[in-house]
Structure 1
Amino acid sequence: MSRTAEPVASASLARVLADAERRGLAIEPVHLPEGTRSAAEAARACGCGVDQIIKSIVFRVAGDDRHVLFLTAGGSRVDPVRAGRLVGADLEKADAAGVRGATGFAIGGVSPLGHLNEIETWFDPKILDHAVIWAAAGTPNHVFSVDPAALVEALNPRIGAFTEEP
């Protein structure tokens, strides 16, 4: 992994860093030149377990323009039925335009922080089993590490079981 040493050139990354600072989170972006296409690739690049990689999954409320963000451990999959019960509405996977419109990020770079719009956020309790987690920092090539309890404190998400049962 190479650490970002140059000035922040990405508006998305800059937005994540500014939001983290506003929320009192000290994060340092790490540049992954090759990017990552999966949680397993990200875990290898970051030198951690796959469940320490946080996936930011966006769903759209069926028949509505409202979007919901689910932050889940890298080895888990969001169950749309269970997630919908928590939200109180049927959910469908958001398309790329919906994800960008709701968060300001492209799929693959959706961060827990720095969204353009307020978005209802749910947090997988399994993430709290780790001392350090890694999340996208607004681009497909940048990540940051953080204490999951500090992230929960900063985001104040809803916490609930919304992943598929093993």
Structure 2
Amino acid sequence: MTLKAAAARVQAALSAAGLEAEVREFPDSTRTAEEAAAAIGCAVAQIAKSLIFRGATSGRPVLVVASGANRVAEGKVAALVGEALEKADAAFVRAMTGYAIGGVPPVGHEVPPVTVIDEELLQLDEIWAAAGTPNAVFALTPTDLATLTGGLVGGIKRGGSA
């Protein structure tokens, strides 16, 4: 099966990084953590959702990779990256990542982001991340995610520990 162009770009980025992950496309949406977990047959917590913010001072993209079961506390992320965050609109997300909201992967971005990883993902054996389209995903380990992204790991869950 031939991957859609955006999913193929993610597969190429994974291969270039030396990760033997396989992008899988589903007939149904994997846009939300709940939809992805249902399509894959895994727990919502195993979905590594990619959220893009804009650094309020620098304007740089900030990628937050969070467990699908968690809501992100923006103030905790801001403390980790050293600047306040702003919401990123769809045009900023596409310009910085090369992907549309709902399919943003943690790798292969147009502009390398500052990355923060939800520490709760590191408690899992396998996680699933978006792969460039609203119905494409790939599996990896939390260790691979940290290595691929060079992300800062921290407690970023809303209502969790500081």
Work out the number of aligned pairs and report it: 160
| Deviation of 1:36 (Å) | 2.8
What TM-score do you get using the length of structure 1 for normalisation? 0.90
User: C-alpha distance in 1, partners of 2:71/2:125?
Assistant: 21
Long gaps (5+) in structure 1: 1-5
Shift of 1:64: 4.3
CA contact (8 A) 2:30 2:137 kept: no
Contact 1:17/1:114, CA 8 A, preserved across alignment: no
TM-superposed deviation, 1:153: 2.0
- Structure 2 alignment gaps of length 5 or more: none
- Where do 1:1-166 residues align within 5 Å? 6-10=1-5, 12-166=6-160
How does the TM-score come out when normalised to structure 2?
0.92
CA distance in 2, matches of 1:36, 1:156: 25
Amino acid at match of 2:4: A
Letter in 2 for 1:117: V
Cα distance in 2 for partners of 1:163, 1:120 equals 18
The code of the aligned residue for 1:141 comes to N
Deviation at 1:144, TM superposition (A): 0.7
- How many angstroms apart in 1 are the aligned matches of 2:25 and 2:31? 14
Identity over aligned pairs, percent? 44
Equivalents in 1 of 2:60, 2:148: separation in Å? 22
Using the alignment, how far apart are the partners of 2:94 and 2:14 within structure 1?
Answer: 20
Whole-angstrom distance in 1 between the partners of 2:97 and 2:20 = 21
CA RMSD between the two structures: 1.4
The answer (yes or no) to whether the contact 1:27–1:144 under 8 Å persists in 2 is yes
Deviation at 1:7, TM superposition (A): 2.2
Give, in angstroms, the shift of residue 163 of structure 1.
1.9
SS at 1:65's partner residue? Answer: coil
